[in-house]
Amino acid sequence: MPDSPASAFFLGRQPILDRSQRLVAYELLFRGGTQNAAQVTDGVTATATVIANAFTELGVADALGHCLGFINVDVDFLFSDMLELLPCQNVVLEILETVPPTPEVIERCRSLKAEGFTLALDDVIQVSPEYQALLDLVDIIKVDLQPLSPAELVTLTQRLKPLNKRLLAEKVDSREQKDECLRLGYDLFQGYYFAKPTVLAGKKLSHSQMALMKLMGLLLSDADTADLEAAFKPEPGLTVNLLRLTNSVGAGCTVRINSLRHAITVLGRRQLQRWLQLLLFASGTDQGMENPLLQMAATRGRLMELLADFVKKGDKALADESFMVGIMSLMPALVGIPMADIVAPLALPDPVRDALVESKGELGKLLELTAAAESGDPGTIAETLPSFAGLDLAALNQCTMQALAWAHSLGREKSE
């Protein structure tokens, strides 16, 4: 049976941060799968179906949490009555630069604003007279830094500031660009710089972080509970934090956990290992689960685990190793240390080490697929999917939604 049009799309997310680098939104990237593109005869209906399902059946609205979702809107979808299926309070309609500012487009945007939608104009690199009416209507202007020189950026910003719109700097690739846009008064920021926060480059692992990594190694080597407890003893603050974490979100049990041995018994080693991994990431930033990189790592780990279970049902070892590869794959971006140095003190299984350091083996291929789904790279997805028997675009899309919802639930539980 052919896949439905919705399965020809999958979700990528790129964080959008405010001036304090707090996560406030994601741009949601819906991409078409190469093998199914020819089957989509009605692009408007296909896109509308994907987005409608994402915000209802598949739970992306829940995955967004308190954040907004920016959604690209081309000219065809702009005039589709299916647009009203989107929850206006959760989304920003990002009008693509390919949409001509015709009177009909201006009137449609005016109607959408009256219905409560927030509008953004994408990829602005100049202020043309024909776009003035559209600029007056939108709430957010996204300035594409890539083609602009520093002088051109200053000139363009000076022309946009009197419009009293929120300015979003997109394709921010360096600290220098971020600092200049801050100086110019930009409100929102998006770009590869924030996905790999080089502001933390050179940061050394703290004593607690190293202790966590050693604990993960003990768990992977199936060490005795006494050895685990001994590893916690030099880290009283870490012990308290772990007990608090397991009490609040560990297993949904009614018995209060009052000792490390009790926590290990109640949670089980598999669950304890996961919380140690997440705590390791959270300890590298005072933003905790609000850090977009941490949420990305949690989502990546869960997605790899779900895909591994789909490919080899019931293989707990592969699922566990997949989760570890996913969540640790972003560690270099967080702490600014090469992956080889991070894994050196850990007694990692060879397949995990090979995947993390050299992108080799089945886990390395699964990591490649997961990263492609995360960024919305249809070419890599089409190339990688055949490596896994029984895995298709529909399953990848479903697993992605489940992983997003799971990662969001972690942040929500930690904040309660």
Domain count of the fold of the chain:
2
Q: Which residue has the higher pLDDT, 352 or 150?
A: 150
Note whether 188 and 77 are same-domain residues: yes
CATH code, domain carrying 244: 1.10.3210.10
The per-residue pLDDT for 64 is 66
Would you say 317 and 323 are in contact if contact means Cβ atoms under 8 Å apart?
Answer: no
The per-residue pLDDT for 255 is 54
Note whether 250 and 393 are same-domain residues: yes
Domain with 252 in it? 207-415
Note whether 138 and 240 are same-domain residues: no
Residue partners of 343: CB distance under 8 A and separation at least 6: 328, 353, 356, 357
| Of residues 111, 165, 100, the one with CA closest to residue 139 | 165
pTM of the model: 0.50
Q: Label the pairing between strands 68-73 and 9-18.
A: unpaired
In a domain, 372, yes or no: yes
In a domain, 117, yes or no: yes
Say whether 117 sits in a helix, a strand or coil: coil
Instruction: Give pLDDT tens digits for 57-96.
Output: 334 455 566 788 888 888 877 887 557 657 788 889 999 8
Highest mean pLDDT among 35-44, 65-74, 163-172 belongs to 163-172
Note whether 69 and 180 are same-domain residues: yes
Q: Which residue has the higher pLDDT, 137 or 226?
A: 137
Note whether 187 and 237 are same-domain residues: no
Instruction: Give pLDDT tens digits for 184-197.
Output: 999 999 988 775 32
Residue partners of 203: CB distance under 8 A and separation at least 6: 284, 335, 336, 337
The per-residue pLDDT for 352 is 85
Note whether 136 and 232 are same-domain residues: no
The per-residue pLDDT for 256 is 52
CA end-to-end span of the chain: 44
Q: Which of 143, 172, 195 is the last residue of a domain?
A: 195
